[in-house]
């Protein structure tokens, strides 16, 4: 009985990561990564163009929202220029039907 309980516990721990999903986690990661990776690269490029003398020190993906036929991918970056540290919010608007860029909004914040 102890052996059976031990085996159950071991198998539960090994396979528990897929309990809530029929799809392996590696496939989920690739799908999520592909979903916003191209827009994340664009956000970084845009920040570097807008603030060429600043160094990007951190980056966060804040998610996707939908407004009708437009999707908005939002990113928060932290930058440093000399002694000044500041935040950069980048909103990338995308046509959901064509997955084409509509526009990019860049806002400098205090952090």
Domains, the chain, ordered by start: 28-109 (3.10.450.390)
Confidence at residue 107, expressed as pLDDT on a 0 to 100 scale: 97
> Which residues are CB-contacts of 74 (< 8 A; sequence separation ≥ 6)?
61, 62, 63, 64, 65, 89, 90, 91, 92
Q: What is the pLDDT of residue 36?
A: 79
pLDDT average per 10 residues of sequence, the chain (111 residues): 46 40 43 72 96 96 96 97 97 95 96 75
pLDDT recorded at residue 106 = 98
| Its pTM surpasses 0.75 | no
């Amino acid at each position: 009985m102890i052996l059976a309980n031990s085996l159950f516990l071991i198998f539960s721990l090994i396979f528990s990561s897929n309990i809530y999903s029929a799809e392996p986690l590696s496939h989920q990661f690739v799908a999520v990564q592909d979903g916003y990776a191209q827009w994340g690269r664009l956000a970084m490029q845009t920040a570097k163009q807008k603030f060429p003398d600043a160094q990007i020190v951190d980056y966060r993906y804040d998610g996707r929202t939908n407004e009708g036929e437009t999707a908005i991918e939002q990113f928060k970056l932290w930058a440093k220029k000399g002694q000044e540290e500041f935040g950069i919010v980048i909103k990338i608007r995308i046509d959901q039907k064509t997955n084409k860029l509509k526009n990019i909004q860049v806002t400098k914040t205090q952090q």
